[in-house]
Structure 1
Amino acid sequence: MKHSLPDLIAAQRNVHVLYSYDERNTYFQTLMAYILDCISAKEIIILIENERNYRKVMTELKKMISNEETQYIHFINSFEFYFSSGNYHPPAITAYFEKEIEPYLDHQTFFRTWAHVEWNSTDVPHHLIHDLETRIDGAVNDIEFPLICAYKNVDMPTDLRKILLQTHPFVLSEAELVPEKASLSVTANSVTHE
């Protein structure tokens, strides 16, 4: 069953979405649509992204939003996020994330998250990726916040794709996507969670 992503988030806060993409331009259009939807809902967007992409996004956003609205964007450098302990260590990544969201939880501020995962997935043992995604899925359900995990298709070998489908209840795929805010649609994932 397909849903509009904004409608799904409005109906259900605990939304954990796997976004697989091929084209860089489509990735940016989708990211921009998500950010603009967050801003129009007056919610913080925690953007876990690389520095280069962040600069590009901010350059484009500043043409569309006010300086005041840029305050809704909370940037986290993706390399520092995933490798804050020196290597890919799920408990350290989870602790980093908890520290970043603590002020929003303390002030009962709604937030959404976009996490761009772009390191070579063959460099990290897949059981560690499964561990992190399982931890994060638990946080999405416990805290009730939307999270989009963006992975490039070429960086997802079959066994990793299987793990990601097991840990993400919703899938946003470039093949089904018209990258306009009202057209971001997700499909409920039919793969059973383990």
Structure 2
Amino acid sequence: MKTKLHELLLGNKSAHLLYAFNSMDNYMKTVVRYILDGIAKDQSIILIENEKYLPFVMRELKIHLTDNELEKIHIVNNFDFYFSTGSYHPPAILGHIEKMYKPLLDQNKSIRTWTHVEWSTIEGPLAIVEELEKVVDKLSADLGLTIMCAYEEEGMPESLRLSLLRTHKFILNDDGVDYSDYYDMENIIEI
């Protein structure tokens, strides 16, 4: 049963969502709408995005938000975030996550994250993506976080697609949000 993202997030303290996108135009509209909805709920936003898309996203957000609201958005370059060690390395990524979230959680802030994962740049086995997504799913549930993981669907290997469906309880597309039929909560890795 499809629902609207806004309705889903109202009823859940935490959510780990997959957004497999095909259109960059829809992607831009979705990321902006997701952030605006979070700001309207007085959430702090962590935006992990490609630097070439940031100017477009920020231009749209500046139309709708005050300077004080814009200060609630914490921007991280997705390449620096995922590849700071020179490769996609889950322990280093988890270190970044801890540094980003801890100050906000210490202030009892509600946090909404958008992360653009550019899987096509990952060298090595794509199984490491599933390993990290399992940990992020547990983190989301334990800390009450809303985390949207955006992956470009074009050319995505079937093994990665199935891995993402197993590690994300909710799937977002242009028609709304649905539950993943493949989600396996028993398979989540302890932090």
Common fold, TM-score beyond 0.5?
Answer: yes
Structure 2 CA distance, aligned partners of 1:15 and 1:64? 25
More divergent stretch after superposition (52-61 vs 96-105): 52-61
Shift of 1:44: 0.9
Distance 1:80 1:155, change over 3 A: farther
Shift of 1:125: 1.1
1:94 aligns to what? 94
- Equivalent residues of 2:48, 2:116 under 8 A apart: yes
Distance 1:85 1:122, change over 3 A: closer
Q: TM-score, normalised by structure 2?
A: 0.92
2:181 aligns to what? 190
Distance 1:75 1:155, change over 3 A: farther
1:182 aligns to what? none
- Equivalent residues of 2:88, 2:122 under 8 A apart: no
2:130 aligns to what? 130
- Structure 1's unaligned 5+ residue stretches are 177-184
Structure 2 CA distance, aligned partners of 1:192 and 1:36? 28
- Equivalent residues of 2:2, 2:178 under 8 A apart: yes
Structure 1 CA distance, aligned partners of 2:133 and 2:156? 14
Distance 1:111 1:100, change over 3 A: same
- Equivalent residues of 1:121, 1:155 under 8 A apart: no
Amino acid at match of 1:186: V
Distance 1:135 1:95, change over 3 A: same
Structure 2 CA distance, aligned partners of 1:115 and 1:124? 21
SS at match of 1:62: helix
- Structure 2's unaligned 5+ residue stretches are none
User: Does 1:15 find its partner at 2:23?
Assistant: no
SS at match of 1:135: helix
1:181 aligns to what? none
Amino acid at match of 1:25: D
1:29-53 CA deviation, whole Å, 9 max, x = no partner?
0111101101111111100001121
1:47-93 CA deviation, whole Å, 9 max, x = no partner?
00011211211112112211111011110110010012221111110
1:170 aligns to what? 170
SS at match of 1:63: helix
1:114 aligns to what? 114
Shift of 1:124: 3.7
Shift of 1:7: 2.0
SS at match of 2:182: coil
Shift of 1:155: 4.3
Structure 1 CA distance, aligned partners of 2:2 and 2:94? 30
More divergent stretch after superposition (121-130 vs 64-73): 121-130
Aligned residues: 185
What percent identity do the matched residue pairs reach? Answer: 39
Amino acid at match of 1:188: Y
The alignment's C-alpha RMSD in Å is 1.3
Q: TM-score, normalised by structure 1?
A: 0.90
Distance 1:186 1:144, change over 3 A: same
More divergent stretch after superposition (9-18 vs 120-129): 120-129
